[in-house]
Amino acid sequence: MLSLVLAAALLPIAGIFAAADAAITTASPARVDELVREGRRSADALSTILEDRPRYTNLLLLLRVSAELTATVLVAAVAFSTWGFLVSVALLVVAVMIVICYVVIGVAPRTVGRQHPYSIGLLAARPTRAIARVLSPVASLLIVLGNALTPGRGFREGPFTSDLELRELVDIAGSRGVVEETEREMLQSVFDLGDTIVREVMVPRTDVVWIEDGKSLRQAMQLANRSGFSRVPVVGEDLDDVLGVVHVKDMLDRALSMAPGEPGPLLRELMREPAFVPESKNIDVLLRDMQRTHNHFAVIVDEYGGTAGIATIEDLLEEIVGEITDEYDQDTPDPIEHLDGDRVRVSARLPVDELAELFDVDIDTEDVDTVGGLLAQQIGRVPLPGSEAEIAGLRLVGEPGTDRRGRPRVLSVLVERVPDEPERAPEEHSGDDPDESPVERERREKEQRDRDKKEREKREREKRERKERERKEREKAREKARRRAERRAERERQERAEESRPADDGPDAQPGRGESAG
């Protein structure tokens, strides 16, 4: 009888250990810190436990398992002494203890611990720390033995082993209303920063507003006023020769400090050193670089050294919080516009991944990023209004538009699903004419083979010509980049020579660059 009383007492004790374990595992350190600042009793002890959570959870696990096993052994001893050492008795004891341990220890206490982690954690904090002082060496020894017998790493720090688990937790919190939908999207966007490269978010070369270095201050301020941009790249010969970046604040400061009638400076005197970034750089790294260098503007270069586009800190932040506009931004059309039926009008700059997600299809392409680029890849040339292509069960049709210079250009693409062709009924006869002679049939088949062969040769020839054009374009880009680098080096060499020239070379000195001979 004493054994049964002791077993009955051990089961609730094991349940208390299980509830404390669940509470300590669920409790948030930030919330516990608030309890400490509020002066709640035992909050400091609970905070200490959370600082070394694995140690105390392992200890509570050891105590719970010890209580369960002891209670099971006591019940088994009473049963065997009463009914004898029978297999049926052993199975009965096992079945009864499994049900009791599952309900009394496994489910109810742990559920209560997860539902009330702070109240239970505060109650269990001081006793747990007191027990840890006594039994901590035993628990540590058992952990060492377990780690020695178990391959891989030991107890992991924290509840997550990968960002996938954290993403799933964010989705669950969003579905349960713990966080708003916009907050969930922002958190998921933060996770995607490390997988997004600058090329996917930059302003492409064709949309860049720039100005030549020989233009005046007044012309630059007029351009900034018309475009609405506060930073404008300054170029030399062309957009591949970016010399610097001029800020509207610098222009305004210089304009306000000028005396009436004073000629304005050239832009090369006001521009700042540009930051060049490869298009393959991750935007989370670029964002940290911009924060560290206090630079909000970057020139994006491709693998050949040419200018691929520009990126600002606003472009990077929009990947997290969505589109950012102010009172001076012009209204831009929605990149996705649903029309009648399954037809959708999308921006030519819409990422291919978003198009695939919109229609729930798998678009296998790695060479292009946008829908406009996908259309160009499928037709093999620069798309014009009316250009049409099909891929992954979708029909893409380029819609007419004009760029900033008034030239025809595909700015949007009409996308719709390709209807499935109805199955044709089987024909009673083959395609061969029953009255056709064997000689005529052979001649017809030979002509068909010749046409197929010519078609294959034509495709191969077009493929070789396309590769040859691409090779020549790459060589041309490399040569252009080399000449640009030489010009830049020559310009820097001349500037260093001017800086090192003495201020007064004597009466026989010749007039230098920018000096007057009179």
**Global pTM exceeds 0.85:** no
* CB-CB neighbours of 8 under 10 Å: 13
Tokens matching residue 283: 């935007």
Q: What is the 3-state secondary structure (H, E, C) of 458-471?
A: HHHHHHHHHHHHHH
> What single DSSP character describes residue 464?
H
313: tokens are 């800190």
The CATH class of the 336-417 domain is alpha beta
What token pair was written down for 118?
Answer: 């702070």
Query: Which tokens go with 44?
Result: 């400091």
Q: Is 40 exposed, middle or buried (0-12, 13-18, 19+ CB in 10 A)?
A: middle
pLDDT of residue 86: 84
**Which two three-digit tokens encode residue 493?**
């060499």
Distance, CA of 31 to CA of 146 (rounded, Å): 32
Instruction: Let me know: does 129 contact 45? Beta carbons within 8 Å.
Output: yes
| Tokens matching residue 301 | 């270069």
Per-residue confidence (pLDDT) for residue 516, from 0 to 100: 32
Tokens in use for 131?
């027990």
Q: Which amino acid is at 194?
A: G
**Rg (Cα) of the chain, in Å, rounded?**
37
- Predicted local distance difference test score (pLDDT) of residue 289: 93
Which pLDDT score is estimated for 299?
94
Q: Which CATH number fits domain 198-321: 3.40.50.300, 3.40.50.1970, 3.30.70.3340, 3.10.580.10?
A: 3.10.580.10
In the chain, domain spans: 2-149, 163-193, 198-321, 336-417
**DSSP symbol at 107:** I
Residue position matching structure tokens 């060589």: 475
Sign of CA dihedral 389, 391, 393, 398: negative
Pairwise CA distance, residues 82 & 271, whole Å: 97
Q: What is the pLDDT of residue 232?
A: 93
pLDDT value of position 429: 41
Sign of the alpha-carbon dihedral angle for 6, 8, 11, 13: negative
pLDDT at residue 278, as a whole number: 93
- The total of other beta-carbon atoms located within 10 Å of residue 70's CB is 16
Q: What is the pLDDT of residue 287?
A: 92
Per-residue pLDDT of the chain (518 residues; tens, 9 = 90+): 688 888 888 888 989 999 999 999 888 888 888 888 888 888 889 988 888 888 888 888 888 888 889 988 888 888 888 888 888 888 988 898 888 888 888 888 888 888 898 999 999 999 998 988 888 777 777 777 766 776 655 544 455 555 677 778 788 878 877 778 888 888 888 888 888 889 888 988 888 899 998 888 888 999 888 888 899 999 988 888 899 999 999 999 988 888 887 777 888 888 999 999 999 999 999 999 999 999 999 999 988 888 999 999 998 988 888 777 766 665 566 788 888 878 899 988 888 888 888 888 888 776 778 888 888 888 888 788 888 888 888 999 988 876 655 667 788 899 998 876 554 444 444 445 555 567 677 777 777 777 777 777 776 777 677 777 767 776 776 777 677 777 777 777 777 777 666 544 444 433 333 333 33
CA angle 374, 378, 382 (to 5 degrees): 75
The pair phi, psi for residue 245, each rounded to 5°, is -135, 130
Give the C-alpha separation, 151 to 175, whole Å: 37
pLDDT at 501: 60
Quickly count: other Cβ atoms within 10 Å of residue 372's Cβ. 25
Of the candidates 274, 278, 224, 275, the residue with the CA atom closest to the CA atom of residue 249: 224
Chain position carrying tokens 């068909």: 448
Domain 198-321 matches domain 336-417 at the CATH topology level: no
